[in-house]
Structure 1
Amino acid sequence: MDASIELLRDLVVQSFRAPRQAAARIIALNLPMAARWVGLGLMAVVSALLVHLSFSIQPAEVKDFFVEAMASPLRTAWMQAVFMLVAVALIHRIGAWRGGHGSFADALVLVAWLQFLLLLLQGLQLLAFAVLPLLADLVGLATLGLFFWLLSNFVAELHGFRSPLVVFVGILLSVFAAVLVLTLLLTFFFGG
Structure 2
Amino acid sequence: MTQINLRDLTVMTIKDPAQAARYLLALGLGREVLWLGLLLAVVLNTMLQAASNLLLPVIGFELQGITPSLVVYAAIVGGGLVVTTFAFCHVGRLLGGRGTFYDVMVLMVWMQFLKVVVQAAGLILVLTIPILSAVLAFAAFLVGLYITVHFIDQAHRLNSPARAVGVLIASVLAVAIVSFILLSLVGGPIPGSAAYV
What's the TM-score, normalizing by structure 1?
Answer: 0.87
Tell me by how many angstroms 1:63 deviates: 5.4
Q: 1:63 to 1:31 in 2, by over 3 A?
A: same
Separation in structure 2 between the aligned mates of residue 66 and residue 20 of structure 1, nearest angstrom: 43
The answer on whether the counterparts of 1:52 and 1:70 sit within 8 Å (CA) in structure 2 is: no
- After superposition, the C-alpha distances for 1:1-51 in whole angstroms (9 at most, x for unaligned) are xx97x5211111100000010010011111122111100110011111112
Go from structure 1 to structure 2 and tell me whether the alpha carbon gap of 1:93 and 1:64 turns closer, same or farther (over 3 Å shift).
same
CA RMSD of aligned residues (A): 2.2
- Seen in structure 2, the aligned counterparts of structure 1 residues 148 and 49 have a Cα distance that, compared at 3 Å, is same
Corresponding position of 2:24: 26
Q: Which amino acid aligns with 2:54?
A: S
Q: Which moved more, 1:128-137 or 1:47-56?
A: 47-56
1:162–1:33 Cα change, 3 Å: same
- Measure, in 1, the Cα distance between the counterparts of 2:93 and 2:15: 27
Q: How does 1:14-163 map to 2 (within 5 A)?
A: 14-59=12-57, 61-62=59-60, 64-65=62-63, 68=66, 70-71=68-69, 73-163=70-160
Q: Secondary structure at the match of 2:63?
A: helix
Picking from 176, 187, 192, the partner of 1:190 is 187
Amino acid at match of 1:158: A
Amino acid of the residue matched to residue 79 of structure 2? V
Gaps spanning 5+ residues in structure 2: where?
190-197
What is the one-letter code of the residue matched to 1:172? I
Secondary structure of the residue that 1:187 maps to in structure 2? Answer: helix
Q: Higher mean Cα deviation, 51-60 or 35-44?
A: 51-60
Q: TM-score, normalised by structure 2?
A: 0.85
Classify the secondary structure of the residue corresponding to 1:128: helix
Q: Distance in 2 between matches of 1:10 and 1:64?
A: 40
1:120 alignment partner AA? V
Higher helix share: 1
Alpha-carbon distance in structure 2 between the residues aligned to 1:187 and 1:62: 23
- Secondary structure of 2:178 counterpart: helix
Shift of 1:95: 1.2
Identity of counterpart residues, as a percentage? Answer: 27
| Structure number with higher relative contact order (C-alpha < 8 Å, ≥ 6 residues apart) | 2
The alignment covers a number of residue pairs equal to 188
Distance 1:41 1:60 in 2: 24
Could you say if the C-alpha distance between residues 25 and 128 of structure 1 is closer, same or farther in structure 2, counting changes exceeding 3 Å? same
